[in-house]
């Protein structure tokens, strides 16, 4: 069995209006939904074909009072949640939810890296519940992107914690964008955010077949287009969005193995980081 340690294996949307989110994402991405609620805990699965790819749950009232906003969170598989959580703390990370069991499903913790970008650690109880991301399949997550305070320090942290490896980097005038691999495949990139972006964050790109049509569905469904559609290297195209409740996500189409390059936004872009640098002209574009 292939180890999923260090690989993104699950994604979860926490939102203020789960019913509206179900309608929005099934239309935009083409997902179907399945109820996976437990007593006292409503939970919905988003599925691409027969494959569950993400979860949906409500944002608790107490979290709202503390300022929590709707957002997507990625779960990284680990061999031992308790050991990995302890290691994360020793490396300077923060634990928001300590290792916790979901009966007959998984053990997880919710954490943040030393620069405050949030993610979760998870260990499934069987191999079928914990599979690395299928980057090339429609409806699945095709790319993972970190906007960090300092990408070099961020990569050092994740390399120590998960064993991620450097793949390539663009050292263009707009800033460095590092490609990294997990579990032997290139799965994402990271860059240093501009000062205008208030907090580091992870952004997840969902694969769609027709990007322009999907972008129109975002707008028709009450979401916002923050940037794009944009052309990227290797025939990739992307658009960065928020859903009607304000959770940020992105859509992409193309070939994940040739994705990139990317880079930080101009200093006068207050919304976030620029995700994809448009492809350069010339034979190597």
Domain layout of the chain by residue ranges: 8-129, 141-258
Q: How many CB atoms lie within 10 A of CB 256?
A: 24
Residues 6+ positions from 234 with CB-CB distance below 8 Å: 254, 255, 257, 258, 259, 260, 279
**What does the alpha-carbon distance between residue 176 and residue 154 come to, in Å, rounded to a whole number?**
13
β-pairing verdict for 201-207 and 248-253: parallel
Global pTM? 0.86
The two three-digit tokens of residue 55, written as one number: 């979860």
**What does the alpha-carbon distance between residue 63 and residue 70 come to, in Å, rounded to a whole number?**
10
Quick one: pLDDT at residue 252?
Answer: 94
Confirm whether 8-129 and 141-258 share one CATH topology.
yes
Quick one: pLDDT at residue 232?
Answer: 73
Q: How many CB atoms lie within 10 A of CB 129?
A: 18
Gyration radius from the chain CA atoms: 18
The enclosing H or E element of 152 equals helix 151-162
Verify cis geometry, omega within 30 degrees of 0, for the bond prior to 229: yes
Quick one: pLDDT at residue 105?
Answer: 81
What are the mean pLDDT values of the chain's consecutive 10-residue runs (285 residues total)?
A: 78 96 97 89 92 92 82 95 97 95 87 96 66 76 94 96 90 76 90 88 95 96 93 81 96 66 32 33 25
Quickly list DSSP for 84-124: HHHHHHHTT-EEEEEEEEETTTEEEEEEE-TT--EEEEEEE
CATH code for residues 8-129:
3.10.180.10
Following CA atoms 81, 87, 93, 95 in sequence, which dihedral angle do they give, to the nearest 10 degrees?
40
Quick one: pLDDT at residue 140?
Answer: 93
Quick one: pLDDT at residue 174?
Answer: 62
Quick one: pLDDT at residue 2?
Answer: 47
**What does the alpha-carbon distance between residue 26 and residue 227 come to, in Å, rounded to a whole number?**
21
CATH code for residues 141-258:
3.10.180.10
């Amino acid at each position: 069995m292939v180890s999923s340690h260090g690989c993104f294996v699950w994604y979860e949307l926490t939102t203020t209006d789960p019913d509206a989110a179900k309608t929005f994402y099934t239309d935009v991405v083409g997902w179907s939904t399945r109820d996976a609620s437990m007593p006292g805990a409503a939970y919905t699965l988003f599925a691409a074909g027969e494959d569950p790819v993400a979860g949906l749950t409500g944002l608790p009232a107490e979290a709202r009072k503390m300022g929590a906003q709707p957002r997507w969170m990625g779960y990284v598989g680990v061999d031992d949640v308790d050991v990995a959580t302890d290691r994360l703390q020793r490396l300077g990370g923060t634990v928001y939810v300590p290792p916790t069991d979901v009966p007959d499903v998984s053990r997880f913790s919710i954490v943040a890296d030393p620069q405050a970008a949030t993610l979760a650690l998870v260990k499934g109880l069987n191999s079928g519940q914990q599979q690395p991301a299928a980057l090339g399949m429609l409806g699945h997550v095709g790319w993972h992107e970190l906007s960090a305070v300092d990408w070099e320090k961020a990569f050092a942290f994740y390399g120590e914690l998960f064993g991620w490896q450097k793949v390539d980097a663009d050292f263009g005038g707009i800033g460095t964008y590092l490609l990294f691999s997990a579990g032997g495949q290139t799965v994402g990139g990271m860059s240093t955010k501009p000062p205008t972006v208030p907090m580091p964050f992870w952004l997840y790109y969902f694969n769609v077949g027709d990007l322009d049509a999907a972008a129109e569905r975002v707008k028709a469904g009450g979401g916002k287009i923050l940037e794009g559609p944009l052309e990227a290297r290797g025939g990739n195209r992307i658009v960065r969005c928020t859903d009607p409740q304000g959770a940020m996500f992105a859509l992409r189409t193309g070939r994940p193995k040739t994705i990139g390059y990317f880079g930080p936004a101009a200093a006068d872009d207050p919304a976030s980081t620029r995700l994809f640098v448009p492809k350069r002209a010339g034979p190597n574009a």
